[in-house]
Structures are given as C-alpha cells and as structure tokens.
Amino acid sequence: LVAAVLAAALVAGGVGGGIGFWAADRTSGESSTTLTASGDPKTESRTPGSVADIASKALPSVVTIEAQSGGGEGGTGTGFVYDKQGHILTNNHVVASAAQGGGKLTATFSNGKQYDAEVVGRAQGYDVAVIKLKDPAGATLNPIPLGDSDRTAVGDATIAIGAPFGLSGTVTTGIVSAKKRPVASSDGGGTGNASYMSALQTDASINPGNSGGPLLNAQGAVIGINSAIQSANSGGGFGGGQQQAGSIGLGFAIPIKQAQYVADQLIKTGKPVYPVISATLNTRESGNGAKIASGGDGSAPAVTPGGPADKAGLKAGDVITKLDDTAIDSGATLISEIWTHRPGDKVTVTYTRDGKQATTQITLGQREGDRN
C-alpha cells in the first residue's frame, strides 16, 4: 500500500533539450530529409489475444482505490469489477485503514470517473475484501471473466494490471513462475496480523499500489489477485516500514478460486469463514514441519478438546509433515494449505510423534470472522 506520490524526474528533459539545441546548431543552413516509418498493419489491428487487446478490454474494469483513514492518512491500491451490482474485489490491506478508522474510500475508473465506495466485507486472514460503489449510476460495470486458477501451469503467460506507486492503468507481463507457493504476508500496519496464501508466483512486475489488482492469463481471464512481493529490502508483503519495496520479479497472487469463494461469502454475510483443525501451531519454526505447540504455559490448550485435531488423535508436540500430497515444512505452510479447503472437507495428515511417523484423517471444522 503506497501513498500516491511520485517525484517527476526532470533531468532527462533537460538533457534532451540540450541535445536538441546542439543538433539544430550543427545543421543550421543545411538541407535535411525526414523519414517516416510505415505502420505495421499487424500492430495497428491489435491482433485478438495480444497483450494490447487483452489490456484494452480489461482496463475499463480495473479501478484505482484511494483509501483514507479517519486520521487523514491515505494510500493507493487497485481493484476490479466483480459483478454488475457494483461490487469491487481487492485486498483487505488496501482498505483496512479506511475501514477501521471511519475513513473514506473512492474508486476511480480508467475513464477518470470517480465514485465513493464502502466496505461490504473483508477477510484479514485471506487478505481479500469486497467494496461496493455507493451510487453506481453512470458507471460501466463489466465484470472481468474469472479463470480457473487450478488449471494454470508453470510457464503460462500472465498480465498484471494496477497502479504501482500511484501510476494507474499500468500493464506488465510475465509468466506463472510457480504454483502453491506458501506465503505469509504482513498488512504493514504494525498489528502483528498476517495473511496466509498458497499463492501463484509470477515474475510480472508488480509493486506497491498493484495490491488488489487482477493477474490475468493469456485469455484475459483473472487467475489471481496480486497481493504480495518479495523484495531486496523487505520480508514480503506490500506494507511495512519506511522504505518502499520494489519488484525483483517475485510477485504473489491469491488464486482466484479461493478469492471467489471468500468474496461470495463476504457479499452474502459480510464475514469470512475459515476451515480449521483447532490446534495452535508454532509459526516461528520451519524446515521440519508444522509443530503443534507444546502447551503447559497455563494458556488455552494447544489442541482444543473435542475439536477436529483432537478427534483425529493429534496431541501437543506432534509435528505435521504432510497434508494429503503436499509436504509441510512450517506452520505457515500448513495454514496456507488448510485454507485452500472448505469446512467439512476431509484431509489426510502425516505427522511424527516421539520419532515415529503416523497418519490420520481430519474433518476440518470452521471459524467465523477474524481474530483481532
């Protein structure tokens, strides 16, 4: 999330002017010939399916979101039209400051028309939010088609649209670099809360301000919501700290299949629902699996009595190393994978206890709403 402030670089203009004067002085009094390149018919026709064609269709449905908190602090993010009723899909961390502090939200379309908006619902854990135009009269609401994120493959082409550093309507391209990449990202607000995703990784250039924007496939369908980056000067996420992170080709998007499920819940009830195993995990350690907290500190039990993990026979100190066919190397990875499922789903868990490996099946429970 980045304030829409960009310093103009005037050096290039000055250098260009100087070179122009030097060339004019050298050729004064001499004849010159101007050459004009002929147009490329293929380029001018914008071949169907080209990046330019896809961008021209998607841009009118992408909005730049200005979020201003009650204290007057502001930031810029991105969203895209979800349905014809005026719902806009974006990231929770784009709108959180305005939602928490009685602030103001506006959505500006590519034609420059600006609309006041309000939060319909937001899911901090998933980093998904839905906002709605307060008065959509006059707005052209053409939802961008949603693709199937499960069917994407490493190497597939990607197109990201957003407002990096406040530069609305920016289009960048790349590929799907990896799938099911476990990512835990901070909201940058100093709350200590984190979002977890089993992300699509892309090398398309995305930066602060791209948050909430669509990641498209080569057919122009949304396969993800751009949500976080790994950069040379940050540990992940678009928020946090004095320095603004920049793209180094490691961007992460929430798969649209998950985001759609969450968005539909938010539109219907205003609250997210999370699948859970009802056990406290150690999220600070990684490499050997997801360890259920040992307990014994007088706080709530590490495994909730009667909860899904308890019913499956898991105990404090167990280390979960596999969920179905996915290897688990940390608590964050386990949470990311659990949240790709639905409450009531049955999953197979492999774990170790006292050096011995065992397998059990868990029926996922549910938790409604976010924990503050």
92-107 pLDDT, tens digit each: 999 998 887 678 999 9
Kindly provide the b/e burial profile for residues 285-305, where b requires at least 16 CB atoms within 10 angstroms of the residue's own CB.
Answer: ebeebbbbbeeeeeeeebbbe
Quote the CA–CA distance of 181 and 342 in Å, as a whole number.
19
Q: Is 234 a catalytic residue?
A: no
Determine the 3-state secondary structure of 95 from DSSP.
helix
Look up the CATH architecture of domain 273-368.
Roll (2.30)
Domain ranges in the chain are 46-271, 273-368
CA 238 to chain centre: 9
Residues facing 362 on adjacent strands: 347
Number of C-beta neighbours around residue 115 at 10 A: 20
Catalytic position from the list 211, 227, 278, 336? 211
pLDDT score of 21:
31
Phi and psi dihedrals of 146, rounded to 5?
-100, 135
Sign of CA dihedral 279, 271, 164, 102: negative
| 345 carries an active-site annotation | no
When comparing pLDDT for 87 and 187, which is higher?
A: 87
The band of 7, judged by pLDDT with boundaries at 50, 70 and 90, is: very low
- Looking up tokens 């009723």 gives 85
CB 94 within 8 A of CB 228: no
Distance CA 339, CA 194 (A): 13
The pLDDT value recorded for residue 271 is 94
User: Model confidence at 194, in pLDDT bands (50, 70, 90)?
Assistant: confident
Rounded alpha-carbon distances, angstroms, from residue 119 to 66, 186, 227? 13, 20, 18
Chain mean pLDDT for the chain:
83
pLDDT in tens, 17-32: 332 333 333 344 444 4
DSSP, res 11 = H
Q: pTM of the predicted model, to two decimals?
A: 0.82
Strand partners, 368: 273
Given the residues 61, 93, 149, 278, the one annotated as active site: 93
State the alpha helices, DSSP H only, in the chain: 11-26, 41-44, 51-58, 92-100, 256-269, 308-311, 331-338
Examine the residue annotation and report whether 264 is marked as an active-site residue of this protein.
no
Residue 2 CB contacts under 8 Å (≥ 6 apart), including other chains: 75, 76, 165, 166, 207, 208, 209, 238, 244
For 241, the token pair is 């700290």
φ/ψ (deg, to 5) at 58? -85, -35
Q: Is the pLDDT of residue 288 over 70?
A: yes
| 72, burial (CB in 10 Å: exposed 0-12, middle 13-18, buried 19+) | exposed
How many other β-carbons are positioned within 10 Å of the β-carbon of residue 146?
A: 17
Among 149-153, 223-227, 283-287, whose mean pLDDT is lowest? 283-287
Class of domain 46-271: mainly beta
Which member of 61, 87, 97, 127 is catalytic?
127
